[in-house]
């Protein structure tokens, strides 16, 4: 009874906070202006979290950033001052003109700017369609062309107001075709987070996120699935990377969404959420027979006809700990089932589906078929 009451109260508090956030965003100019001036988190979807967020100097806590940070943040990668350039900075002549664009960008839309390098350019991670660099498997997967409706992952679009502007309206208030743009999820100027990932609703408040790279992996190998692992310390010191998915998919996790009556029988598939007090482990279902820790540890039989799915590892802040197979610390999260950008399968699933949802992947944790 107590549990029920508190779950209901939590729901109410959360609803109110999200609604308030919504109201701030209904008056976009005022809300946006305030965020720009003070860097406060009014309008952030993360306000209702169980931890006080956004108060710390997250930049200091973060490991050294990857590309587009500090010394590798080359203004001329993306900006041109007078929409005209006769030669490059090394003095080589190749005249180029651009269309004058807001923020002096080299392309009219940020998505085209990013894709001018991130598609089909050897030596730059290729995030669209086939991989010009021939990695074994890109950790984030891949998108389809801009403005194409892609049933296998996120749809890229043009003319979108990026984070933290009116992105709520992509899905609400009569939205017809929700889409995303690179700078919703990635900070174009680097934020010292792995992949420069950010909260779309409050970029400056983003805590360090636990994408961990195999020591020694360099160059584009850093972005191989096999060299990427995921950890969380369950606090702002380090959050599971899927904490940034909540900014848009804010009704998919949290106990009040996935197990409203708190009886342990889920109504939505659980997905690790340390901010809203709803972590999980594969072994949590062993007692009542919903999951099989032994099957997960064993790594063979039903479900394992596809590679072991990614998990988020509780307590892991380095690559070695984040690859330790242990059902008591391994949790299921969005990236256990989905590629962040998209994949060759429906819904951007990380394992191959042919037609329908097969035991592949699912049975690694559930062992329903029996092996």
Interatomic CA distance for residues 255 and 277, integer angstroms: 8
CB atoms within 10 A of CB 122: 9
- In angstroms, the Cα distances linking 322 to 198, 330, 336 are 21, 9, 14
Considering only 50-58, 88-96, 232-240, 358-366, which stretch makes contact with ligand HEC by CB under 6 A? Answer: 358-366
Range 280-299, binding ligand HEC (CB under 6 A)? 280, 282, 284-285, 288, 290-291
Closest residue to ligand HEC, based on beta-carbon distance = 66
Site for ligand HEC contains 329 (CB under 6 A)? no
Stretch 303-322 residues interacting with ligand HEC (CB under 6 A) = 309, 311
Stretch that binds ligand HEC, among 53-61, 82-90, 93-101, 342-350 (CB under 6 A): 342-350
* Alpha-carbon span 227 to 4, nearest angstrom: 42
Among 332, 343, 345, 367, which residue interacts with ligand HEC (rule: CB under 6 A)?
A: 332
CA distances, 135 to each of 66, 113, 131, 210, 255 (Å): 18, 23, 7, 22, 38
Q: Does 337 bind ligand HEC (CB under 6 A)?
A: yes
Window 205-264: residues binding ligand HEC (CB under 6 A): 211, 219-220, 223, 228, 241-242, 244-245, 247-253, 264
310: region left, alpha or beta (phi > 0 left; psi from -120 to 50 alpha): beta
Nearest approach, Cβ of 298 to ligand HEC (angstroms)?
14
> Least Å distance between CB 228 and ligand HEC?
5
Give the count of residues interacting with ligand HEC (CB under 6 A): 110
How near is the Cβ of 173 to ligand HEC at its closest, in Å? 10
CA distance 213 to 195: 11
Stretch that binds ligand HEC, among 80-88, 92-100, 120-128, 231-239 (CB under 6 A): 120-128
Among 110, 207, 208, 231, contact with ligand HEC (rule: CB under 6 A): 110
CA dist., res. 295 & res. 291, Å (int): 9
Contacts of 168 (CB under 8 A, 6+ apart): 22, 25
- The residue behind tokens 């380090």 is 238
Give the residue from 176, 187, 180 showing the smallest Cα distance to 157.
Answer: 180
Which listed residue (182, 212, 312, 322) binds ligand HEC by CB under 6 A? Answer: 182
Burial class (CB in 10 A: 0-12, 13-18, 19+), 290: middle
Per CB under 6 A, contacts with ligand HEC among 55-84 are 66-68, 73-75, 77-79
53 in contact with ligand HEC (CB under 6 A): no
Q: Which is nearer to ligand HEC, 165 or 236 (CB)?
A: 165
CA distances from 76 to 65, 118, 320 (A): 19, 16, 37
């Amino acid at each position: 009874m107590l549990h029920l009451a508190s779950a209901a109260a939590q729901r109410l508090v959360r609803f109110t906070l999200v609604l308030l956030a919504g109201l701030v965003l209904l008056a976009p100019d005022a809300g946006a202006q305030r965020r720009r001036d003070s860097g406060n988190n009014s309008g952030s979807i993360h306000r209702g979290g169980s931890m006080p967020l956004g108060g710390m100097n997250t930049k200091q806590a973060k490991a050294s950033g990857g590309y587009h940070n500090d010394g590798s943040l080359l203004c001329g990668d993306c900006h041109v001052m007078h929409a005209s350039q006769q030669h490059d900075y090394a003095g080589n002549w190749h005249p180029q003109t651009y269309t004058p664009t807001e923020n002096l960008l080299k392309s009219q839309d940020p998505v085209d700017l990013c894709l001018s390098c991130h598609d089909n350019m050897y030596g730059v991670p290729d995030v669209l369609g086939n991989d010009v660099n021939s990695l074994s498997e890109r950790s984030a997967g891949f998108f389809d062309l801009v403005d194409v409706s892609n049933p296998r992952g996120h749809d890229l679009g043009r003319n979108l107001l990026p984070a933290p502007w009116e992105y709520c309206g992509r899905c609400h208030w009569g939205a017809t075709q929700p889409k995303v743009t690179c700078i919703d999820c990635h900070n174009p100027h680097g934020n010292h987070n792995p992949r420069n990932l950010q909260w779309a609703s409050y970029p400056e408040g983003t805590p360090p996120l636990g994408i961990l790279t195999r020591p020694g992996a360099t160059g584009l190998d850093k972005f191989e699935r096999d060299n990427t692992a995921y950890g969380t310390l369950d606090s702002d010191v380090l959050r599971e990377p899927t904490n940034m998915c909540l900014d848009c998919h804010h009704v998919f996790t949290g106990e009040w969404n996935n197990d409203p009556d708190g009886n342990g029988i889920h109504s939505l598939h659980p997905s690790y959420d340390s901010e809203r007090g709803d972590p999980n482990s594969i072994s949590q279902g062993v007692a009542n027979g919903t999951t099989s820790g032994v099957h997960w540890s064993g790594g063979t039989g039903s479900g394992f006809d596809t590679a072991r799915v990614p998990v988020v590892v509780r307590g892991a802040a380095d690559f070695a700990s984040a690859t330790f197979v242990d059902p008591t610390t391994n949790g299921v999260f969005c990236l256990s089932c989905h590629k962040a950008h998209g994949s060759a399968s429906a819904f951007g699933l990380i394992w191959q589906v042919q037609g329908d949802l097969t035991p592949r992947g699912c049975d690694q944790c559930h062992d329903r078929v029996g092996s």
